[in-house]
């Protein structure tokens, strides 16, 4: 059986640079100052009625709002709703609700709400989208740390490629900027003391936290074309691997990450020289940036593609980050520009040199690689391309 071709027809995003695709794309090059990059004055209305919103954790609200925008952009899918899969990932899930529950438990006479358990569930965003729109296909929630959002997209790709679904709502959502999370990452010496992420910079000292959601609508190409949908990009391949090395640190030579990149290229049927841009994982930590730069250099050589990371402005959205960055990869193809790396001033001479994007760059769109690497040694890589 030949794999079916899969395209992107809708995008939706909630993030610190802006809520909604247009505002986000405009804000993604702005230096918005130190993190954590929390979304201020968040109000899910009018997308989610207030009574319903009270039954959803913040991360699930992000996911529903982003899905609503993506589905609106895609238009009428014209497929059996029971053949629409919903894969929406998270890294931590309903942390805000968990903290409410802990505070209530500490009271002399705690009163537990009946919705607190479902609000904490990691699958709450995916389930809420399925219920809201009546999508009865597979509904799942990968929880693979910072690779989760990308893994959800890869899972949706496979569902359509092999005929189990005709369309997919895929991505990730996260709302984990809470004192306990910050304290844990500080203890792990992963966060920047100044709360400023500087991906690939000589003076980088850690990442900053972010939050939000990114949702993509995937469709089988023939179906999308037959209904006259606007095709933003084609998702041609992807791969996931494990480092099998350490619960937090990447493999020192990036062995698992390199395999994921090479397998994703093979899956997409593209040689390395067909990649024109890499949206890097690029967290701004010492180990990640050094390892990722080495992988890029080994796979693509001295004349490699342009590279940028958006985490200097979005913060690290953990389980949402891979989805938001995949959305950026699709937008780079559709809109004909690639974003810069905010926070990068002096490329670190101690790591492999790359073609860093220091100012937003116009380009003749080509294939794009989107890298996501997570705690636990999870590596997920996606490949997007203009539709030929």
- Residues marked active site are found at 146, 281, 316
Cis preceding-peptide flag for 293 (omega within 30 of 0)? no
**Contact at 8 Å (CB) between 374 and 145?**
yes
Backbone angles phi and psi of 260, in degrees to 5: -65, -40
Copy the structure tokens of residue 196.
Answer: 């400023």
Interatomic CA distance for residues 33 and 35, integer angstroms: 7
Among 324, 383, 377, residue whose Cα is nearest residue 145: 377
H/E run at residue 96: helix 95-105
* Distance, CA of 148 to chain centre: 8
Name the strand (E) or helix (H) holding 172.
Answer: strand 167-174
Number of CB atoms found within 10 A of residue 388's CB: 6
Q: What are phi and psi of 264, to 5 degrees?
A: -65, -40
Maximum alpha-carbon separation in the chain:
66
Please list the helix, strand and coil fractions of the chain in percent, rounded to the nearest 5, in that order.
35, 20, 40
């Amino acid at each position: 059986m030949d794999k079916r071709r899969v395209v992107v027809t809708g995008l939706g995003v909630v993030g610190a640079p802006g809520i909604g695709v247009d505002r986000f794309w405009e804000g993604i090059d702005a230096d918005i100052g130190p993190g954590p990059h929390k979304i201020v004055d968040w109000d899910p209305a009018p997308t989610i009625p207030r009574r319903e919103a009270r039954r959803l954790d913040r991360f699930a609200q992000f996911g529903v709002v982003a899905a609503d925008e993506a589905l609106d952009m895609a238009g009428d899918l014209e497929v059996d709703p029971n053949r629409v899969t919903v894969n929406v990932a998270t890294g931590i899930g309903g942390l805000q609700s968990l903290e409410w529950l802990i505070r209530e438990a500490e009271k002399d006479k705690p009163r537990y709400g009946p919705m607190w358990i479902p609000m904490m569930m990691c699958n709450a965003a995916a389930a809420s989208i399925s219920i809201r729109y009546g999508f009865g296909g597979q509904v799942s929630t990968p929880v693979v740390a910072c690779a989760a959002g990308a893994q959800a997209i890869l899972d949706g790709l496979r569902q359509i490629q092999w005929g189990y679904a005709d369309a997919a709502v895929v991505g990730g959502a996260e709302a984990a900027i809470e004192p306990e999370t910050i304290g844990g990452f500080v203890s792990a010496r992963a966060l920047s003391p100044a709360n400023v992420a500087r991906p690939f910079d000589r003076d980088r000292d850690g990442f900053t936290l972010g939050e939000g959601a990114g949702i993509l609508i995937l469709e089988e190409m023939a179906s999308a074309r037959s209904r006259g949908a606007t095709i933003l990009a084609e998702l041609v391949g992807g791969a996931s691997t494990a480092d099998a090395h350490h619960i937090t640190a990447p493999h020192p030579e990036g062995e698992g990450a390199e395999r994921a990149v090479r397998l994703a290229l093979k899956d997409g049927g593209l040689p390395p020289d067909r990649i024109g841009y890499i949206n890097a994982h690029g967290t701004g930590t010492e180990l990640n940036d050094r390892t990722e730069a080495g992988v890029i250099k080994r796979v693509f050589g001295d004349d490699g593609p342009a590279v940028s990371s958006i985490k200097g402005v979005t913060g690290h959205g953990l389980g949402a980050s891979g989805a938001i960055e995949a959305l950026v990869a699709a937008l780079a193809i559709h809109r004909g520009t690639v974003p810069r790396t905010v926070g990068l001033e002096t490329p670190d001479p101690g790591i492999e040199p790359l073609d860093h994007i220091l100012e937003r760059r116009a380009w003749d769109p080509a294939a794009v690689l989107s890298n996501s690497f997570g705690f636990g040694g999870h590596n997920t890589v996606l490949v997007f391309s203009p539709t030929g």
